[in-house]
């Protein structure tokens, strides 16, 4: 039944030859690393570094306000009445807040490589709700006969449906064919598989009582049953977490030689650090964000955080802005409206630096006092909407007249 459900979701032209299995095979059974570990989405999320990387990106996107703007003659205005604005800023569907919705989108995109959003259209031709599809049960396919892109998916009730491209917002990770994103977990399977193996080793290490692993030497020769009996009695009193660090008492000529590899072994630690760095690199996460602080300083952490915004987050946010606008707004609406993430909360510095920035923006007339107060979540004040400039800065075309006026002269008047 399991294989039948999967195969029913495939198109008639897709090959299911197990010598070159299609994507559904990897979805069910995962990607095998050279360590022999099967790397799946669920197993990868048990690795702290993978969980941390995905959660960092999901939180970063989810916490940013996703806003709608209307172009005007003077620039732009926030648009709050359009149905799409209400969806992305208030409630995309009855069961999810904007934060939870964006967080799950980014989790899907970084774990499965793809996030699929189904648009539920209202009678007025505008979207009335947005729903996320299960990425493990959704597959995009291009129909060469109809020259159309379709999305085959399995709904929570078990029904298989085919949804047109116009009803799906598809956000991807890195793509090599322009249609589907490649799961980062597949690409990083070696480092993730190595980390999974290391976790199992540590668990077994403590379960077996790490300090007493080795060779037990006995005088004379023992038959098979005697060897098993000696091993069992030794493990009974010297293995297990409750017996760790206890003193072993040897009698009857027994000798113990340790062959265990302690967890503080430099090579073991370096291997785990390497895997952590590789996974963080695959997800475009600065190392200090996954607690690798060996070479971190205050200055380079600040620069890496800025680089995270510019090089990691900004391309992701641009994809959201373009895809959501294109799929939910008509051509005519796209000429008037556009979508934009507000990065202000991420770009804020410490209070001293922020105050200096505000002072500069006030001095050159870029901000009004009320605009600064709004950024600080404070109420407007009377007369605070006027923009002021420093009188020491004037336009070049009136600079001469301005200096003469300050000297009390007008256009060369006066004898001296």
Alpha helices in 71-112, H assignment, sequence order: 83-89, 98-111
Structure tokens of 22? 């299609």
Element (H, E) at 338: strand 337-341
**How confident is the model at residue 353, as a pLDDT?**
75
Residue pair 105/171 in contact by the 8 Å Cβ criterion: yes
Nearest to 316 by CA among 35, 71, 109: 109
Rounded to whole angstroms, the Cα distance separating 174 from 109 reads: 10
Rounded to 5°, the CA angle 139-6-108 comes to 40
Residue pair 285/312 in contact by the 8 Å Cβ criterion: yes
Rounded to whole angstroms, the Cα distance separating 133 from 8 reads: 18
Burial class (CB in 10 A: 0-12, 13-18, 19+), 371: middle
Nearest to 243 by CA among 199, 213, 216, 265: 213
Can you point out the beta strands (E) in 29-159? Answer: 31-32, 38-39, 66-72, 75-78, 114-121, 127-132, 138-143, 148-154
Residue pair 324/339 in contact by the 8 Å Cβ criterion: yes
Contacts of 92 (CB under 8 A, 6+ apart): 98, 101, 129, 130
Residue pair 93/371 in contact by the 8 Å Cβ criterion: no
For β-strands 66-72 and 168-172, DSSP reports them as unpaired
Tokens 């939870």 sit at which residue?
100
Domain ranges of the chain: 1-210+263-343, 214-259, 348-416
Count the alpha carbons within 13 Å of 393 in the hemisphere toward its beta carbon: 8
Task: Tell me which DSSP letter residue 179 carries.
Answer: S
**How confident is the model at residue 276, as a pLDDT?**
79
**Sequential pLDDT tens for the chain (416 residues):** 333 344 444 444 444 444 444 454 445 445 555 555 566 777 777 788 888 999 999 999 999 999 999 999 888 899 999 999 999 999 999 999 999 999 999 999 999 999 999 999 999 999 999 999 999 999 999 999 989 999 999 988 889 999 999 999 999 999 988 899 988 777 666 556 565 565 565 555 555 554 455 555 666 665 677 667 666 665 655 555 444 444 454 455 566 555 455 544 444 445 556 677 888 888 899 988 887 665 555 567 778 888 899 999 999 999 999 999 999 999 999 999 999 999 887 776 667 777 878 888 888 888 888 888 887 778 889 888 888 776 666 665 676 777 777 777 655 554 54
Residue pair 207/241 in contact by the 8 Å Cβ criterion: yes
Residue pair 5/166 in contact by the 8 Å Cβ criterion: no
Residue pair 31/189 in contact by the 8 Å Cβ criterion: yes
Residue 286, strand partner residues: none
Structure tokens of 356? 């200096």
pTM of this prediction? 0.69
Structure tokens of 1? 């039944």
Alpha helices in 121-221, H assignment, sequence order: 184-187, 189-207
Angle in degrees, 0-180, between the axes of helices 48-62 and 98-111, rounded to the nearest 10: 140
Contacts of 358 (CB under 8 A, 6+ apart): 367, 372, 375
Taking the alpha carbons of 343, 349, 352, 356 in that order, is the dihedral positive or negative? Answer: negative
**CA 279 from centroid of its chain's CA atoms:** 12
Tokens 């939910």 sit at which residue?
328
Nearest to 49 by CA among 287, 314, 308, 296: 287
Q: Of how many residues is the chain composed?
A: 416
The DSSP line for 99-110 is HHHHHHHHHHHH
Cα dihedral 404→407→413→414 (10° resolution):
-150
């Amino acid at each position: 039944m399991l294989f039948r459900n999967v195969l029913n979701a495939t198109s008639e032209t897709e090959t299911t030859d197990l010598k070159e299995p299609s994507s559904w095979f990897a979805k069910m059974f995962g990607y095998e690393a050279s360590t022999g570990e099967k790397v799946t989405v669920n197993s990868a999320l048990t690795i702290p570094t993978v969980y941390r990387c995905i959660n960092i990106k999901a939180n970063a996107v989810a916490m940013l306000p996703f806003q709608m703007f209307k172009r005007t003659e003077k620039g732009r205005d926030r648009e709050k009445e359009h149905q799409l604005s209400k969806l992305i800023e208030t409630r995309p569907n009855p069961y999810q807040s904007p934060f939870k919705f964006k967080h799950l989108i980014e989790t899907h995109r970084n774990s499965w490589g793809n996030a699929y959003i189904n648009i539920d259209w209202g009678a007025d031709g505008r979207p009335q709700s947005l729903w996320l599809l299960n990425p493990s049960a959704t597959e995009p396919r291009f129909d060469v006969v109809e020259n159309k892109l379709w999305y085959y998916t399995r709904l929570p009730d078990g029904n298989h449906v085919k949804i047109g491209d116009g009803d799906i917002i598809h956000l991807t990770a890195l793509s090599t064919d322009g249609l589907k994103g490649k799961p980062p977990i597949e690409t990083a399977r070696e480092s993730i598989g190595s980390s999974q193996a290391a976790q199992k080793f540590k668990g077994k290490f403590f379960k077996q009582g790490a300090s007493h692993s080795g060779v037990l030497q006995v005088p004379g020769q023992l038959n098979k049953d005697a060897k098993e009996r000696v091993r069992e009695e030794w493990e009974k009193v010297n293995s297990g977490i409750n017996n760790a660090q206890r003193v072993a008492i040897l009698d009857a000529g027994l000798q113990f030689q340790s062959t265990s590899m302690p967890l503080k072994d430099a090579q073991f630690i370096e291997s785990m650090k390497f895997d952590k760095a590789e996974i963080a690199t695959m997800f475009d996460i600065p190392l200090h964000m996954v607690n690798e602080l060996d070479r971190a300083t205050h200055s380079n952490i600040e620069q890496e955080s800025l680089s995270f915004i510019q090089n990691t987050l900004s391309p992701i946010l641009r994809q959201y802005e373009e895809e959501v606008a294109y799929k939910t707004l008509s051509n005519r609406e796209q000429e008037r409206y556009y979508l934009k993430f507000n990065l202000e909360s991420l770009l804020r510095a410490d209070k001293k630096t922020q105050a200096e920035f505000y002072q500069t923006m006030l001095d050159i007339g870029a901000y009004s006092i009320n605009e600064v107060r709004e950024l600080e979540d404070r109420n407007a004040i009377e007369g605070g909407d006027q923009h002021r400039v420093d009188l020491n800065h004037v336009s070049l075309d009136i600079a001469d007249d301005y200096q003469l006026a300050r000297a009390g002269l007008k256009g060369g008047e006066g004898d001296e």
